[in-house]
Amino acid sequence: MQRTGGEIIAECLIEQGVDTVFGYPGGAILNIYDALYKYQDQINHYLTAHEQGAAHAADGYARATGKVGVCLATSGPGATNLVTGIATAYMDSVPMVAITANVPLALLGRDSFQEVDIVGITMPITKHNYIVKDINELASTLRKAFYIAQEGRPGPVLVDVPKDITAQVAEYIYEAPRPIETVSAPIPEEDLLSAIQMIKTAKRPLIYMGGGVVRSGAAEAFKDFVDKVQAPVASTMMGLGGFPSTHELFTGLLGMHGTKASNMAATECDLIIAVGARFSDRAIGKVEGFAPGAKILQIDIDPAEVNKNIRTHYSIIGTITEVLKDLNPRLEKQERKEWTEKIKAWQRDYPLTYEKNTTLKPQFVIEKVKELAAEDAVITTEVGQNQIWTALFYKFTQPRSFITSGGLGTMGFGLGACIGAQIGLPERQLFNIAGDGCFYMNCNELATAVHYNLPIRVIVLNNHVLGMVRQWQGMFYGKRFSNTTLDRKTDIVKLAEAYGATGFNITKNEEVEDVLKKAMAIKGPVVINCEIDRDELVLPMVPPGADIKDLIME
């Protein structure tokens, strides 16, 4: 069947099960958009306000649904506007396919109008990328892109297509999507037996849970594993939701903003079982002081993560689901009452707390959202204090319920991600928790939320400063607040209304519940401006360069 390059792209999207894409048109990509017009009954295109918003929406859609997120952009600035979103997905192992158009083949390399080498630019931040110079290779390239994005450790793949390729005609023949191989090889029996021996002989093990538990769909198997091992569970930010935060063995975040119980458990344990976690600097603090008396058992899909940041004593390579499927039946339930009692004592003596019954508190707002929202509500965040307060004070009980930029720490991520997640999960409640600095970066995407009448609730914890950066300046830079005081004159409620959303203002704790209930009853997008104190800090916190046991608690 003869198809243009644009039509082949549309056919391949349908072939791969894609019915939702996010993007922004331009001159070089017109042939693809012309094809999308013809296929609009099969592919829903969501027009964002900016290409970065399209990338974040595709990312949020992928994280919420487990499917591949797809975003489109034209050449030059359209393609470069995707870069931050692609890097965000890459750092957090999110399956995404970014399709960009470029200038015609004859104009490549001539500094033509709106020409950039987007393949060269994105090489360090993609699992793989392609430029298609032969229309006969277009369909096979797209199929490889979708496979690579999902296979092994997920991540973004970019496909760049010159404009004349999208206009040329070639034969298109349907192919069923290639099944994703979950494991490359059976896990050797000796690896499993060695891991079991390490677990059985440990007196004070700690399970260190990362985003791999969520990404691999291993939450149930992981819960069974914890029940067998009977060890405390500390989480990275990306792991939140992979194990219920309400479980008695859950100790909370580990690392720079970890709980005292998690950080002390890591310091005093004799075995760390890292499950789908990559030992990032935010989690382990000073390498020399991390788990000084512990052996390290690492379970991960990516062999490149083993011995990268921390020297391991043993590792098992494979998807978390497959490894635990093999490991759990061989494990006997352990008994570690003395160790778990010590953990519970730390939790009692050093609880997460904040001063109540005073000014409007961000922690109180977040706890109220949890209290009033549906159990399966999905929370996205921006980056900074808002992100950490949410990670600490919102009790996540389900996988894929917490969507945030963990690795890259992208301010402006949350609103686009919330839009994508709401489109992917239309029956679920979606909240985006933001700081005012992050909100201003991509508030233009309110236009997208209003246009598609998406019932998202944006909660702006407004302290009129760049809160986390200001906190560092206050604690470590002699209170020299250089360019972190915003004090914008923008009326956020009026801004929301100008976009067509509903706006609310909260100035005291007594208003929170009533406003949240009103916001949840509204069918379209809502923005809630919460006026909080600029000196409210995110605590606990480990000072830079310190051991994670040396927490600042107040």
Catalytic residue of the set 127, 468, 473, 541:
468
The answer to whether 114 is a known catalytic residue is yes
Catalytic residue of the set 67, 114, 137, 395:
114
Euclidean distance between CA atoms 79 and 11, whole angstroms: 22
The answer to whether 113 is a known catalytic residue is yes
Euclidean distance between CA atoms 102 and 161, whole angstroms: 6
- If phi > 0 it is left, if psi is from -120 to 50 it is alpha, else beta; for residue 481 that is beta
The answer to whether 51 is a known catalytic residue is yes
The answer to whether 295 is a known catalytic residue is no
Catalytic residue of the set 163, 223, 260, 370:
163
Give the neighbor-by-neighbor strand order of the sheet with 205-209.
250-253, 233-235, 205-209, 271-275, 295-300, 314-317
Question: Residues 6 or more apart from 89 whose CB is under 8 A from it?
Answer: 55, 58, 59, 62, 69, 95, 96, 155, 156
The answer to whether 168 is a known catalytic residue is no
C-beta pairs of 518-523 under 8 Å, 24+ apart in sequence: 519/457, 520/372, 520/373, 520/429, 520/457, 522/455, 523/453, 523/455
Tell me which DSSP letter residue 524 carries: S
Catalytic residue of the set 1, 38, 113, 476:
113
**DSSP characters over 58-100:** HHHHHHHHSS-EEEEE-STHHHHTTHHHHHHHHHTT--EEEEE
**Inter-axis angle of helices 362-372 and 512-521, nearest 10:** 40
Catalytic residue of the set 7, 51, 268, 445:
51
At CA 38, angle to CA 37 and CA 39, rounded to 5? 90
Catalytic residue numbers, as ranges = 51, 113-114, 163, 468
